[in-house]
Amino acid sequence: MIMANTDYLRICIVKTCFVKALLLWLLLSTPMLLAQAPEGIWQGYDGEWRHVSRQLIALAEATPAEKFAWRPAAGVRSTSEVYMHIAMANFYLLSVTGPKMPAGLNQDMEKTVTSKAEVIDWLKRSLDAVKEAHLAAKPNDLERKVHIADRDATVDGVYLRIIVHANEHMGQLIAYARMTGVVPPWSKN
């Protein structure tokens, strides 16, 4: 009889400890579970585009002007060249879907537009052009076939390439920023 009571008591203690541990975990993890995702995350293409656009602009604006000429090694794009590459690719890929390339844009600009103000201006123009064109697109527009490089694609596929490309180079620019002592503004919290 004493043995049965001891086993019962042990089981009760284990259960009580488990419940207390679970409640403590819930209490400590609630802020993480309730934390709001950054604006745009999980809100479809347009939300994700707003998110990456805001981050690209914030990082460019946080980067000192003298760091725009920095490159990690000879033969590798500088900071300004990466931003201009994004802007030029946005305009080019967008042109495949229908909108015209802006006047004054030429292939040499990746190397010739180097000032922080000009780079940010072209970047903003390209990000806005993609945003506006995608917002105006109807579902049938997105299904339309286009030819790019050596293949057929859909307009939707081109938009996917645009956002993937922007995020790919966002990662590159974050690495550049960190290597030059610039902290991405959204990671300061």
- The model's pLDDT over 77-115, given as tens digits with 9 standing for 90+, comes to 999 999 999 999 999 999 999 999 999 999 999 999 999
Residues in a beta bridge with 146: 153
CATH of domain 44-187: 1.20.120.450
Do 26 and 20 meet the contact criterion of CB atoms below 8 Å apart?
Answer: no
Q: What are φ and ψ of residue 54, in 5° steps?
A: -60, -40
Give the whole-angstrom CA distance, residue 45 versus residue 47.
6
Do 162 and 130 meet the contact criterion of CB atoms below 8 Å apart?
Answer: yes
Structure-block tokens of residue 55 = 């981050």
Contacts of residue 82, defined as CB under 8 A and 6 or more positions apart, other chains included, come to 169, 172, 173, 176
pLDDT for the residue numbered 33: 47
pLDDT over threshold 60, residue 35: no
Other Cβ atoms within 10 Å of 163 Cβ, number = 18
Domain regions of the chain by residue span: 1-35, 44-187
pLDDT over threshold 80, residue 126: yes
Taking phi first (over 0 means left), then psi (-120 to 50 degrees means alpha), and beta for anything else, what does residue 29 get? alpha
**Radius of gyration of the chain, Cα coordinates, nearest whole angstrom:** 25
Mean of the per-residue pLDDT values for the chain?
88
Average pLDDT score over residue span 41-55: 87
The model's pTM is 0.79
Contacts of residue 173, defined as CB under 8 A and 6 or more positions apart, other chains included, come to 56, 59, 60, 79, 82, 83
pLDDT for the residue numbered 34: 47
Closest CA to 88 of 176, 7, 165, 182: 165
Give the whole-angstrom CA distance, residue 183 versus residue 181.
6
For 127-156, write each residue's pLDDT tens digit: 999 999 999 999 999 999 999 999 999 999
**Cα-based torsion angle of the residue sequence 160, 163, 169, 174 in order, rounded to the nearest 10 degrees:** -140
pLDDT over threshold 50, residue 18: yes
Residue 151: strand, helix, or coil: strand
Do 19 and 26 meet the contact criterion of CB atoms below 8 Å apart?
Answer: no
